[in-house]
């Protein structure tokens, strides 16, 4: 998948894209349509007629899916469009998706550098730079302004002579100004914040390139928790099974994807700040805060750029689905590599729980005690997860309702629920104060069969698969299809 436009074509072919030709307002209306679309588990939405911008296009709900709470009543998968962005089938099973991501991450493909490309089709410099000429949307009623929410920020660190990248909300602060949005509740500065603070002490500007509308594998790599020494473009190449083509930015040596929809370039001026926020985040509005400014000095973009955006807070949003699918996979890989002797089939962070809950499916265990060890590994590795539920191998990743059923019916709370005071600053409940300094505890629930329980005494599930012989199931499915009964049958063999 070489570009966002390639993905949009594929989505349209697979009935995974709604194209709206009616006029839609960038001010709240586009985001509201995406919020409703995400509530109903619909396809991505492209807006071809944005009010006040005859040539402007937006696309939202790009990587969203309905979550697993209602599966299989809602056939669309939470990770389906993410999979398509990586060249996989939209109906790929979650376990296969995770194993594919793990294997591809192990095989990075180095990027290739070219001289020019579509992202430089149009070049706007100096006094002609005007961000108000583009349909940057306002997303929530109480937001402090219009926001860019789907992009990657690349900065150049003069001291280490390396680039650093990350995903941060950016508020439109003027014709050529964007204001940085910090991550709420984070107790330590991000990589870019460290670089900017270090440069400010030397009174040095920091060059940047903001990439909007990257190739989907680059977007996926940006959602992963990669070390600062990792070549993100090589990881993206591995995820998409193709090298990422890059071109040098016009004002710095920062490399950007040649197929990006738009690139904003300039400098972060030392000491200059503006007020940012409030912003409707995952489940609450952030506070106003002063933060550093991106001084945009040059804009390059493709002809007729398509600007993606995230309707944050409306579940499940693009960022929630990307983090759920990809962070779950990273946790699965980490636990397999670091909890010796454990057998883990899959890990999922249901979007319905906004990354705070992990569900872990254990394979056949040789010894007792693995849930506690795996849970500690997850809590130490994930900034988000504060609750973990362990389930048996007969639970499939898409069957969130069965996992929750096991939590109710298999758990003896005095023996199988473990609460620890381990602090989780990003996992605060809505009853916590948001002023900083608060921590939440963690809870581990073992909803697996007792290790010493004989197999013949374990109750069978009364499901279509468990309670009905295979020959009868096959006849029912064949009859279903012959009669054209809607919706199509879903078999969880």
Q: Are strands 151-157 and 162-166 parallel, antiparallel or unpaired?
A: antiparallel
Other beta carbons within 10 angstroms of residue 463's beta carbon come to: 12
- Crossing angle for the helix pair 370-381 and 318-338, nearest 10 degrees? 130
User: What confidence score (pLDDT) does residue 150 get?
Assistant: 96
Angstrom distance (rounded) from CA 420 to CA 304: 53
How long is the chain?
Answer: 493
- Interatomic CA distance for residues 405 and 415, integer angstroms: 18
- Which strand (E) or helix (H) includes residue 464? helix 464-467
Cross-strand partners of 268? 206, 294
Q: What is the pLDDT of residues 274-296, one digit of tens each?
A: 999 999 887 778 889 999 999 99
Pairing of strands 17-20, 44-47: parallel
C-beta of residue 392 within 8 angstroms of C-beta of residue 373: no
- For 79, list phi and psi in degrees, rounded to 5: -100, 5
* Rounded Cα distance, 402 and 390, in Å: 12
- Answer yes or no: are the C-beta atoms of 225 and 128 closer than 8 Å: no
pLDDT of the residue at 435: 54
C-alpha span between 372 and 45 (Å, rounded)? 42
Would you state the pLDDT for residue 187?
59
Q: What is the pLDDT of residue 338?
A: 93
What is the spatial distance between Cα 31 and Cα 138, in angstroms, rounded to a whole number?
8
Please tell me the class of the 339-459 domain: alpha beta
User: Which element (helix H / strand E) includes 391?
Assistant: strand 387-391
Give Cα separations from 215 to 9, 38, 102, 220, 406 (angstroms): 13, 22, 20, 9, 40
Per CATH, the homologous superfamily of domain 4-110+119-308 is Electron Transport, Fmn-binding Protein; Chain A (2.30.110.10)
Residue 61 CB partners (closer than 8 Å, separation 6+): 34, 37, 38, 42, 43, 44, 45, 311, 318
Please report the pLDDT score of residue 159 as a whole number: 78
Task: Pick out the chain residues at pLDDT < 70.
Answer: 1, 73, 184-187, 314, 422-439, 456-457, 460, 493
The predicted pLDDT at position 427 comes to 53
The pLDDT of residue 11: 97
- φ, ψ of residue 18 to 5 degrees: the values are -100, 125
Residue among 305, 313, 118, 87 at smallest CA distance from 212: 305
d(CA 80, CA 323): 14
Closest by CA to 324, choosing from 365, 352, 301, is 352
| pLDDT, position 488 | 81
Contacts (Cβ under 8 Å, ≥6 apart) of 399: 68, 71, 492
Question: For the chain, which residues make up each domain, given as ranges?
Answer: 4-110+119-308, 339-459
Contact between 263 and 121 under an 8 Å Cβ cutoff? The reply is: no
Q: How far is CA 229 from CA 90, 160, 226, 360, 365, in A?
A: 32, 11, 8, 29, 35
């Amino acid at each position: 998948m070489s570009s966002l436009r390639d993905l949009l074509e594929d989505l349209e072919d697979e009935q995974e894209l709604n194209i709206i030709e009616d006029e839609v307002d960038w001010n709240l209306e586009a985001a509201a349509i995406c919020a409703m679309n995400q509530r109903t588990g619909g396809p991505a939405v492209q807006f071809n007629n944005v009010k006040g911008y005859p040539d402007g296009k937006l696309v939202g709900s790009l990587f969203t899916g309905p979550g697993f709470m209602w599966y299989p009543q809602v056939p669309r998968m939470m990770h389906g469009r993410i999979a398509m962005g990586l060249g996989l089938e939209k109906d790929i099973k979650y376990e296969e998706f995770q194993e594919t991501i793990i294997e591809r991450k192990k095989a990075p493909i180095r990027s290739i550098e070219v001289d020019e490309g579509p992202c430089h089709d149009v070049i706007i410099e100096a006094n002609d730079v005007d961000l108000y000429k583009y349909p940057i949307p306002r997303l929530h009623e109480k937001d402090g302004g219009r926001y860019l929410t789907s992009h990657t920020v690349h900065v150049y660190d003069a001291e280490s002579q390396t680039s650093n990248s990350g995903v941060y909300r950016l508020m439109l602060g003027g014709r050529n100004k964007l204001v940085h949005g910090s991550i709420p509740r984070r107790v330590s500065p991000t990589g870019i914040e460290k670089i900017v603070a270090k440069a400010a002490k030397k009174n040095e500007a920091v060059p940047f390139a903001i990439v909007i509308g990257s190739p989907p594998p680059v977007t996926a790599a940006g959602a992963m928790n990669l070390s600062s020494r990792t070549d993100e473009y090589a990881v993206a190449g591995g995820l998409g099974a193709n090298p990422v083509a890059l071109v040098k930015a016009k004002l710095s040596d920062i490399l950007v994807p040649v197929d990006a929809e738009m690139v904003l370039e300039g400098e972060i001026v030392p000491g200059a700040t503006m007020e940012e926020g409030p912003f409707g985040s995952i489940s609450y509005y952030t506070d106003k805060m002063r933060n550093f400014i991106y001084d945009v000095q040059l804009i390059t973009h493709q002809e007729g750029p398509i600007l993606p955006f995230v309707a944050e807070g409306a579940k499940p949003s693009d960022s929630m689905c990307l983090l759920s699918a990809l962070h779950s996979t990273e946790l699965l890989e980490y636990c397999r590599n670091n909890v010796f002797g454990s057998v883990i089939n899959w890990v999922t962070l249901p979007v319905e729980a906004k990354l705070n809950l992990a569900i872990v499916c254990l394979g056949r265990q040789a010894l007792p005690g693995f849930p506690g060890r795996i849970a500690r590994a997850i809590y130490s590795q994930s900034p988000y997860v504060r609750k973990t539920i362990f389930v048996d191998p007969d639970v499939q990743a898409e069957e969130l309702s069965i996992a929750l059923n096991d939590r109710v019916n298999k758990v003896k709370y005095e023996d199988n629920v473990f609460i620890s005071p381990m602090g989780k600053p990003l996992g605060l409940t809505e009853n916590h104060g948001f002023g900083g300094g608060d921590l939440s505890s963690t809870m581990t629930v073992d909803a697996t069969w007792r290790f010493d329980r004989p197999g013949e005494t374990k109750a069978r599930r009364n499901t279509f698969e468990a309670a009905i012989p295979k020959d009868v199931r096959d006849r029912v499915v064949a009859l279903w299809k012959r009669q054209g009964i809607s919706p199509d049958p879903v078999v969880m063999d």
